[in-house]
Every structure is written in structure tokens, then in C-alpha cells.
Amino acid sequence: MQFLSALRHFILYEQLIPNRARIVVGVSGGPDSLALLHALGSLASEHGWQLHAAYLNHGLRPEAEMEAHFVAEIAAAQGHGCTIERADVRAIAAQPGVSLEEAARQARYAFLGRVALRQGAEIVAVGHHADDQVETVFMHLLRGSGLAGLRGMMPDTPLAGLRLGALPAEDRSDFGNIRLIRPLLSFSRTQILAYCQKNGLQPFWDASNTDETFFRNRLRHDIIPQLKTINPNLTTVVGRMTKVLRGDCEVLDAHRRQLWQTLARSEPGRVRLDLALFRTLSSGDQRALLRRAIAVLRPEHRNVSLDHTERILEALAADPQRASGGPLTLTSGLTAWLSYHWLDIQEADFIAKDVPQIFHPTPLSLPGEVMLGPSWRLKARKVGWAHGETPPWHEQQAHHVIWLPSDTSLPLLVRPRHPGDRMRPFGLNAIKTIKDLMNEHKIPRSIRKHWPLVLDGNDRIVWLVGYRASECTHLAPDTTRAWEVSLQSDVD
């Protein structure tokens, strides 16, 4: 009764399970999950809970079939339904950077989520306990984690927040508001084994739990026992620390959510951070926002390496006045760019929809048009006006339109810039490189490679599109006919 009383208190204190909830319990057949299923079942009638057991055969051990049968019998004996499925975890782990442990974890949580959806359950319960928490904290510590890792596993977390990107898309569902809870997180392994013995629960022992080729097992059987010779209360101390850090993280998370709303703009393939505001933040806040930006673009990555964020911060610190630069290669096809007003974290092949881009030399017919990415186009047409009328070209602004003499050498060509490209800007008695003009107009480096230029039939640049026209666009005062080339956008 003492175990059940403590469990009831923990569930109420952490607000883990409401009355009349449907709960899917992950059961492996080991002591932790057997104790969880039995204990929740013992409390179910007073709270109106409905339990359903779920077992996933990872396809790694020959005895898993017997284990699955064992779990089904236990669930039936306690009056609960049971779902059993099999996953090819080795196939998932064959992907680069995905360990067997991580593949099994992702497959297991996705399975539990799918079972919860089918059962109409809003809660998935798993049997992690206080000694598991110690192992998790030290795993994170040895990997150089920050506060979020050192707080360990949470008693209650959204299932949708778990990163399951190693799985095929069809195996990942929208888990909505389903929550993952850990009701045994305040109980030690010793307490759980005692509960099993007292209630006649005979676990099915998994031999892989002693295989020290797995990092967690080495911690469990070698490192942590040595630490307990220094502090026998290690489990209690770590549990207390994680509780304190959880509170600290809640404060920081709320603060950083507000920062994110203020600084960040997210779109498919790119996250933009307001560079001026970003520079004013503490390094801790900067790292947190960068990790979040990478996580938005790579949700399958559980742990963002400190190296990735530090490279960006070091680039900023090396030149505090630096307004543009890049790219910095991050992880899995992501790059970082300084773009005057923005710090962009984006796919290496990202195509910005909000700016014109050209990827291959393309003739511009007269009249005619050329597409500049999904949302922009250059359109050419012949225009004319009567003598005495004010011509539209009386001020060559070159932002969205230029006018060319009707005898301009054809054909016109639209292409990206080449190294060493030069032009003589309109009204300027000097030749300037396109690179210098792009610097003057603060065109972000991340979009310069594919920024469109318009050339005439003599291979002279007549327009740095959107910014500067060349002296070739000069029209005589008595001109009544010209070619108009305009930049048009579908972007709101």
C-alpha cells in the first residue's frame, strides 16, 4: 500500500492522469513495466481509468516472441486489452548516424503513439524510474549537454514533441495532444523490484540489458555503481537536481519562447533571426535560439551539437561589426548566412521565394518574359509616347523597371553573375564590379549567387535587377520608342 500511496501522490502532484482517462501502457515484460501496469490497474477503479497494454517486438532477440506472449497473458489476467506489433529496428538503424538504441527508441514511441490513437487514449505511460533518470543524466553529461539535458526525463511531455525523424513518414503520425508520462520517475529500481515480489509479479528478464556494448548498460553496471561508492544517495541527489533544473528550465523556456516570437521568422527551408536584436542577447540565449532554429529544420535530430552553434557565435564575435557573410556549414545540409539584417539558418539548396533568382542563362524575348524563381518574373515589351509627353523614363530608378533604346543590340539575356562581372552604372562616369555594387546595395550574400543580371546582345550588363541600370539605358531627350523591362512579383 505504501508504494501505491506514493504513486497516487506523485500522479496527483505532477497532474499526470485525470479521472476517466484512457491510458496506453508500454509493457516490455521487465519489472518496471510490469509494476507500472499492475500499480495503475490497482488505482484504476477509484479514478475510472481504462488501461491498454502495448508491446513492440524490435526484431532483435529470438526470445522476443515468448516475451510478447508473456505480456499478452499478463494483460489478459489483469483484465486489460493488449496490442502486439513487430518492427525492423535494424533497418532503421542502418541509416547514417542512427544507433541501434536510438532506432529502437523511435520505433517504440511511434508504436505507442499509434496504439493510443487507435484506442482513443490521451495518455501513454512508460516505466522509466529514478535509476533510469540517473543513467539518462550521466549520458547527457558525458555528451556535453546543457541544462535541458541535465534535467533528465520529464514526468510529462507531449508525445508530438519527440523527434522520430529516423522513421519512414508512414510510421510517424500526428499524435496531437497525446502525452507521454513517467509515473515511476520518483521510485528506485529497488522499490520496484520489491513491489513485484510483494505482488507475485515475475518479470521476463531481457538479456540485452547486461550487454555492455550499449552505452546505457555500461553506465548502469560499471560507472554508476562506482559513483555510488562515493555517494550512496546518488539516485536521490540526482532526482533532486533534476527537479530543480526542471523549474529553472521552465523559466528559461518561457523567456526564450518570447524571444523566439520577437526575433524569428520561420518558413519552409529557412529560419531567419533578426540580426541586430540577436547581437544584443546573452550567449546562452543566442545558443538556445540557434538550437531551436536547427531543430525546426531538422526535427529528427535529438541533440544539436555545440560545435554547430559555436561556429556561428565565433563568427559574430570575431567581427562584431560584420553585417554579411557565409555560408557556414552546419549539419545535414544546413547552412548559416549573415545577411545584413538577418541571420539565416537554411537548407543548403534553399530557394528564397521572396527574392528574384535565376539559375541558368535564359534569353529574354522582345516582347516576352522570364521566370525568376516561383514568384518573380522579368517582362519585356515595347512602349511609346507622343512628342511633348513626359516619358516614363525621365528618371531611371532601376528598382522595378528600366527602359532600353529601341536599337539595343539583341537578344537580351538573363543570367546569374560571373566572377569579375562589371558595368558602368547609369549617371556614373566609372566602371564598377557587380560585387562592389552588391555590397553597396547590401544584397545578402546568401542570394547573390543567383541574383539576376540582364545583358544585351553585345554581352554588356544593362541591369543589376532591382538595383542599378547601366549607362546603356540612357535615352535621348527626343526618344519616343523604347523597350521596357520590368520586374514583377507574385509575393504579397
Q: Cell numbers at residue 91, please? A: 533497418
CA distances from residue 348 to 286, 354, 355 in whole angstroms, order as listed? 22, 17, 16
Identify the pLDDT of residue 341.
84
Residues 322 and 295 in one domain: yes
Domain contains 418: yes
Q: What cell does 308 get?
A: 554547430
Q: Which set of grid coordinates corresponds to residue 381?
A: 515589351
334: pLDDT confidence band, cut at 50, 70 and 90?
Answer: confident
Q: Residue 53 CB: number of other CB atoms within 10 A?
A: 24
Burial class (CB in 10 A: 0-12, 13-18, 19+), 45: exposed
Q: Name which residue leads in pLDDT, 95 or 456.
A: 456
Is residue 357, in this structure, part of any structural domain at all? no
C-alpha 203/C-alpha 194 separation (Å) is 12
Please indicate, yes or no, if residue 245 is contained in any of the structural domains. Answer: no
Residue 385 has a pLDDT of 77
Q: According to the model, what pLDDT value does residue 324 have?
A: 58
Together in a domain, 126 and 208:
yes
C-alpha torsion angle, residues 180, 184, 188, 189 (rounded to 10): -80
Q: State the pLDDT confidence band at 306, using cuts at 50, 70 and 90.
A: confident
In a shared domain, residues 44 and 126: yes
- Measured in degrees and rounded to the nearest 5, phi and psi for residue 483 equal -95, 130
Residues with Cβ < 8 Å from 178, sequence gap 6 or more? 113, 116, 117, 121, 122, 123, 124, 158, 159, 160
* pLDDT tens figures, 391-410: 665 555 567 899 999 889 99
Residues 458 and 380 in one domain: yes
Check whether residue 408 and residue 319 sit in a common domain.
no
Domain residues for the domain of 472 are 362-489
d(CA 473, CA 408): 9
CATH code assigned at 75: 3.40.50.620
Cβ neighbour number for residue 385 with a 10 Å cutoff: 14
Q: What is the pLDDT of residue 386?
A: 73
Q: Is residue 45 part of a domain?
A: yes
pLDDT at 165 over 60: yes
Please tell me whether residues 52 and 189 are part of one structural domain.
yes
Per-residue model confidence (pLDDT) at position 338: 82
Choose the final residue of a domain: 195, 230, 265: 230
Q: Are 384 and 270 members of one domain? A: no
473 CB contacts (<8 Å, ≥6 apart)?
393, 396, 398, 402, 403, 404, 405, 426, 462, 463
Longest dimension (CA), the chain: 105
Q: Domain of 471: which CATH number?
A: 3.50.40.10
Same domain, 226 and 274: no
**Confidence check: pLDDT of 100 > 90:** no
Instruction: With respect to residue 237, please indicate whether it lies within any of the assigned structural domains.
Output: no
> Are 18 and 164 in the same domain?
yes
Q: In what order do the strands lie in the sheet with 22-26?
A: 81-86, 50-57, 22-26, 123-125, 179-181, 156-158
**C-alpha cell, 146:** 546543457
* Per-chain mean pLDDT for the chain: 88
> Measured between alpha carbons, how far is 339 from 327 in angstroms, rounded to an integer?
10
Q: Tell me how far apart the terminal alpha carbons of the chain are, to the nearest angstrom.
A: 65
Give domain status of residue 242, yes or no.
Answer: no
Mark residue 345 as left, alpha or beta (left: phi above 0; alpha: psi -120 to 50; beta: remaining): beta
Q: Do both 150 and 24 map to the same domain?
A: yes
CATH of the domain at 269: 3.30.465.60
d(CA 361, CA 455): 10
**Residue 197 and residue 66 share a domain:** yes
Residue matched to cell numbers 509627353: 389
Which candidate, 250, 28, 61, places its Cα nearest to that of 127? 28
Residue 387 has pLDDT above 80, yes or no: no
Residue matched to cell numbers 538595383? 467
Angle made by CA atoms 281, 286, 289, in degrees to the nearest 5: 125
Which range is least confidently modeled, 214-228, 236-250, 275-289?
214-228
For the CA atoms of the chain, what is the radius of gyration?
32
Question: Which of 347, 380, 395 is a domain's end point?
Answer: 347
DSSP category for residue 123? E
- Indicate if the alpha-carbon torsion angle 372, 377, 383, 385 is positive or negative: negative
State the total domains in the chain: 3
87 assigned to some structural domain: yes
Three-state SS string over 337-391 comes to EEECCEEEEEECCCCCCCCCCCCCCEEECCCEEEECCCCEEEEEEEEECCCCCCC
pLDDT digits (tens, 9 = 90+) for 1-46: 699 999 999 999 999 999 999 999 999 999 999 999 999 999 999 9
Query: What SS3 class is residue 295?
Result: helix
Q: Looking at 230, 260, 289, which one is the last position of a domain?
A: 230
Looking at residue 314, what is its pLDDT? Answer: 85
> What band does 429 get if pLDDT is binned at 50, 70 and 90?
confident
Predicted confidence (pLDDT) per residue in 102-137, tens digit: 889 999 999 999 999 999 999 999 999 999 999 999
Q: How far apart are CA 173 and CA 176, in angstroms?
A: 9
Q: Is residue 239 in some structural domain? A: no
Q: Residue 435 in 3-state DSSP?
A: helix
Whether residue 396 is found in the same domain as residue 307: no
Cα 119 from Cα 434, distance rounded (Å):
63
